[in-house]
Structure 1
Amino acid sequence: MTNEMLFKETRKIIHENMIKKQRDGKTDFHYTKPSPERYPYQFFWDTCFHVFILNALGEHDMAKEHILSLFSKQEDNGFVGHMIYWDRLKPGRLTDFFQSKFNYKNFYKSHMSSLVQPPMAAQAVERIFEATGDKAFLQKMLPKLKKYYRWFAENRDFDGDRLLTIISPFESGMDWKPTYDVVLGRKNKKAAWDLMLKVVNVDVRNFLNNYDLDRIYEKGYFLVKDVGFNTIYTCNLQSMANICKILEDPEAEEFSLLQEEVTAAILGLMYNKEDKAFYDLHGKNNIQIKVLTPTIFYPVVLKDIPEEIKRGVLQTHFFDSKEFDAEFPIPSVAKNDPSFDPSASVFIWRGPTWIVNNWFLHGLLIKQGHKQESEKLIKSIRRLIEKSGFREYYNPFTGEGYGAKDFTWAGLITDMIRMEEEEKEEQSCRNGKKSNSYNC
């Protein structure tokens, strides 16, 4: 499949999944559903992914409208939920129902969930500016972004160590990640229906506590400092510093300092020197959860992580044929982990390949000189689309597509192709180097 065909098919799916409502000449909302039926809401990090895709496609005005729609329901304290239920009554799925505070008014109007997702908004906004040079858009978004990231620093850094805590498996975006089994008290590594009950019970308890974060922290039912979530947070603090510098805003230094402090905490608390891996933490004592998922690699994209640590993590795990090397990488848990299941299941993120991991690590591998491996990631997505179309996730051995159909994430290949083209330009003309907002 040629690049032209990939871009054409991606544009087709994005537009077919797109929803826009206007009233009195003004846009109420404008977003892209991750898939036509299974995921009808506006999701936070999916919207950010769609911005990267839309920019790669040259659809910059649509990218702006997607972000503005995402922040249109922002609360006064800066909070933005992980789902916005536009023009809907309470969601039909039981799991969705318990992810919002109870408010009878929410049955009758658009509203947000009470959970969050990885905070990628600053990167998405920075990418729009890189593509358009639109300072007016930056100026419009900066106050919203400041409130948003301050909300995280003030409300989810429970322990004062600069790392953010998630209170539900659904907040990481990787809902059934086997790391969380430890926190849920599961000894059986294979997914079973008790896992479903335990995960839903986390949200039920949060719901019964009316999403009062102080009470939830005190109860300590599910407190996880997820490596992927915190790495994305760190990257976005750097993007915030970059945006502030562009606009000559004096708070650039504040965001830059916070980014350095979060990176130091990731290195000091999450990195395991003996295992050469970055692990999720749980509880109030920051206990490392020693399960190998692709997020053990995420911090190697951070500029302040020492090069020898980056090389050690990649050499020890990424290139290990027993762990993450597969015909269609990257499996969502190491192949030799007892929880590994590459087949279709309601318990996703426990073996199948998800495009987001390839996208996140692709830029790093290019910059680290691992050209063969970076090319393998992008070729894998190309082959997956040729074989199975745009699917939610894929079998890492056969490439068979699973889950939702016409799922937009595979369209991230357009951003990866764009990055490869940029890298070639940089190599030929280093003095014209552009910033790369997801290789922080």
Structure 2
Amino acid sequence: MSTKHTDLRNRVAVLLGENMVHGYSKSAQSEFHYAKPSPETYPFQFFWDTCFHAFILCALGKAGMAEKHLNSLFTLQRKDGFVGHIIYWNNVLPGRATDIFQSRPGLGMNLLRTHMSALIQPPFAAQAAARIFEATGSEPFLSGLLPKLKAYYKWIAQNRDFDGDGLVTIISPFESGMDWKPSFDPVVGFPRRQANWKLFLRVVSVDARNFLHGYDLEKIRKKNYFRVKETGMNAIYIQNLYVLASLCRAVGDSDEGYFRALADRARESLMSLMYDAEDAAFYDVCGPENRKLKILTPTLFFPLAIEGMDRRVAEKVIGRHFHNREEFALRYPLPSVSLNDPSFSPKESLYLWRGPTWVYLDWFMHGILMKYEQEETARELTKTVTDLIEKSGFREYYDPHTGHGMGAKDFTWAGLVIDMIRNES
């Protein structure tokens, strides 16, 4: 490892250490361990952030700490397998007033105790567990967590496959993790343009209506206010089903075939419903009619990460879009929406994922490039990320033209660059 990479590794280790939280919840009767994505802006335990931290911690040689974080994430798991996208440990209210709509009605004073949100988030948990198991070889860890992982993914399969095609439907833009993603604009009735307060009201109203329906999924399915099969969510879900099947095989669990069959079915549906051969892109789809939302965002690449995807499709998608200077080939890729889209805005804003570059997107794309033996391009992407951090520090997102850092400070996601470097060795 170069001196530059060693220094970066040390800086990431300090960042994770400073953002680490360890405590005890009396109401949950449990210890908890997690890292805040950002000390001030995001102080809670988030589902996919915890998984990202597991990747980072393993890359730092701290897999034991990653175990504690992932176990904490599943501490409040319901008996039916559900785990919310935010864990509020000990006497905390949501960070933004409108986030109250992402909690279940009827919590009352329980909002002031440890509880979970009512939404889900991209399910990276199986991959995070596999990375930890790869690093430690700890069978007690895997044996203890595997039943919880199985219950979680079964809950998704049984409760979010609204149309019986094996794909996951999200019921809120926030479930995608990419909160204000421009491809959701047509679903909420917002014109294709830069965001404003009208978009805020339309998006928040989605959560408000879900709240008023008591997060009854059958009612929400029938109302069809926001019913989207998002490419990122589904690619990650399918990818993790395959990983979960492999974890089952590692311990001789008979559910290996069940999860592999789920993944195969969902992959077939994704190809038939979300891939557009003419555009060489995977699109989000909405409603029971599966209408394609033809807006180019980096998730058009995400299905390429799935096990068993056609290499010819991958090469076509990457060739058409990744190197296109009118779309994603900016100075600091990947912008969170295509440069030529009317919604593109590279500046700091409440409305995230509408232009700026996020290290998460580069990390995911890096894995895809490595999978298809495009190592030189992958290394260039890693250099871009290291340059961003050197220029602007650990920030939530960056201007894709200038590299200027914006959003939350001391943001942990930038540490995913350590995992990118690890995967190149």
| TM-score bucket (shorter structure) | over 0.9
Q: Distance in 2 between matches of 1:89 and 1:256?
A: 39
> Structure 2-normalised TM-score?
0.97
2:25–2:114: 8 Å Cα contact kept in structure 1? no
> How far is 1:303 from its partner?
2.6
Map of 1:436 onto structure 2:
none
Report the residue type matching 1:15 in the other structure: G
- In 1, the alpha carbon distance for the partners of 2:298 and 2:304 equals 11
Q: Please state if 1:384 is matched with 2:391.
A: no
SS of equivalent residue, structure 1 residue 66 = helix
Structure 1 counterpart of 2:262, from 233, 245, 258: 258
- 2:17 pairs with 1:19: no
1:425 aligns with: none
- Counterpart of 2:93 in structure 1 is 90
For residues 417 and 78 of structure 1, what CA distance do their matches in structure 2 show? 34
Indicate whether 1:346 and 2:346 are aligned.
Answer: no
Residue number in structure 2 paired with 1:53: 56
Query: Counterparts of 1:148 and 1:369 in 2: how far apart (Å)?
Result: 33
Write the letter of the residue equivalent to 2:157. A
SS of corresponding position for 1:35: coil
Separation (CA, whole Å) in 1 of partners of 2:8 and 2:93: 37
Find the aligned partners of 1:390 and 1:98 in 2 and give their Cα distance. Answer: 30
SS of match in other structure, 2:102:
coil
Matches within 5 A, 1:195-274: 195-274=199-278
The letter of the residue matching 1:200 is: V
Which stretch of the first structure deviates more once superposed, 409-418 or 81-90? 81-90
| CA deviation after TM superposition for structure 1 residue 367, in Å | 2.8
Whether 2:135 is the aligned partner of 1:131: answer yes
1:279-290 mapped onto 2 (5 Å cutoff): 279-290=283-294
Summarize the alignment of residues 293-372 of structure 1 with structure 2, pairs less than 5 Å apart.
293-372=297-376
CA drift of 1:95 comes to 2.4
Q: Is the 8 A contact 2:50 2:70 kept in 1?
A: yes
The count of aligned residue pairs is: 420
2:71 alignment partner, SS class: helix
Q: In 2, distance between residues paired with 1:188 and 1:30?
A: 41
2:142 paired with 1:151 = no
The Cα shift of 1:89 comes to: 3.6
Question: Contact 2:186/2:192 (CA < 8 Å) preserved in 1?
Answer: no
Q: Where does residue 400 of structure 1 map in the other structure?
A: 404
Aligned match of 2:34: 31
Residue 433 of structure 1 corresponds to which residue in structure 2? none
Contact 1:163 1:266 in 2 (8 A): yes
Query: CA-atom RMSD, angstroms?
Result: 1.3
The structural deviation recorded for 1:289 is 0.3
Over residues 328-384 of structure 1, what are the superposed CA-to-partner deviations in whole Å (9 max), with x where a residue is unaligned? 110000101111111111111000001111101112212322223111210011000
The sequence identity of aligned pairs, in percent, is 52
1:93 Cα deviation (Å)? 1.5
Distance 1:121 1:15 in 2: 22
Residue 6 of structure 2 is aligned with which of 4, 14, 18?
4
| Shift of residue 258, structure 1, vs aligned partner | 1.1
What is aligned with 2:421?
Answer: 417
The question of whether the paired residues in 2 share the 8 Å contact of 1:64 and 1:128 is answered with yes
Partner SS, residue 21 of structure 1: strand
Deviation at 1:105, TM superposition (A): 3.8
Q: 1:278 pairs with 276, 282, 296, which one? A: 282
Change (3 A) 1:310 1:359: same
Q: Is the 8 A contact 1:267 1:305 kept in 2?
A: no
Shift of 1:22: 4.2
Structure 2 residue matching 1:20: 3-state secondary structure: strand
Q: CA deviation at 1:92?
A: 4.6
Contact 2:25–2:89 (CA under 8 A) maintained in structure 1: no
Counterpart of 1:38 in structure 2: which amino acid?
A: T
Separation in structure 2 between the aligned mates of residue 417 and residue 190 of structure 1, nearest angstrom: 35
SS in 2 for 1:164: coil
Q: Is the 8 A contact 1:117 1:173 kept in 2?
A: yes
- CA separation in 1, counterparts of 2:280 and 2:395? 32
Q: Is the 8 A contact 1:260 1:304 kept in 2?
A: no
For residues 38 and 291 of structure 2, the distance between their equivalents in structure 1, rounded to whole angstroms, comes to 36
- Listed as ranges, the matches of 1:47-196 within 5 Å are 47-102=50-105, 103-196=107-200
Q: SS at 2:379's partner residue? A: helix
| Contact persistence 2:213–2:219 (CA under 8 A) | yes
Deviations 1:54-109 (CA, angstroms, capped at 9, x unpaired): 00011111100000100000000000000011002432522211100121142331
CA distance in 2, matches of 1:2, 1:387: 13
Secondary structure in 2 matching 1:30? strand
Moved more, 45-54 or 103-112: 103-112
Where does the alignment leave 5 or more consecutive residues of structure 2 unmatched?
none
Letter in 2 for 1:409: W
| Closer/same/farther in 2, CA of residues 330 and 69 from structure 1, 3 Å limit | same
